Structure 1
């Protein structure tokens, strides 16, 4: 059985979240504009919010797995 590719918007959100958790800058977004850029930024903001709220590495890893 073949696996379907992940939704590109979901993937961009996930990559943005991981970038924020790793402490990368907002300017490191690989997408210049469009829907994927916006999803990446949304993921980055969510990751930053979780980081600032005190989520530890275990909670962040669990959140990433559930995305």
Structure 2
């Protein structure tokens, strides 16, 4: 049985979250399409909030 790929926008959000939680700059966003870029930045912002609350894994 084949696995379904995750939705591209969900994947963009998750990748943005991973970049943010690891302390990377939002300038490294790899997406050009506005929808995917917006999701990536949303994930990045969410990760930054989590980092401020001390939710980082070291």
Shorter-chain-normalised TM-score: which range? over 0.9
Give the distance between the partners of 2:2 and 2:32, measured in 1 at CA. 31
- TM superposition score normalised by structure 1: 0.80
RMSD: 1.3
Tell whether 2:14 aligns with 1:37: no
SS in 2 for 1:57: coil
The 4+ residue runs of structure 1 with deviation greater than 2 A are none
What whole-Å deviation, never above 9, does each CA across 1:23-53 have from its counterpart, x for those lacking one?
Answer: 1001000012410000000000000000011
Tell whether 2:5 aligns with 1:5: yes
Which ranges in structure 1 are unaligned for 5 or more consecutive residues? Answer: 59-67
- TM superposition score normalised by structure 2: 0.92
Residues matched between the structures, number: 58
The answer for the alignment partner of 1:18 in structure 2 is 18
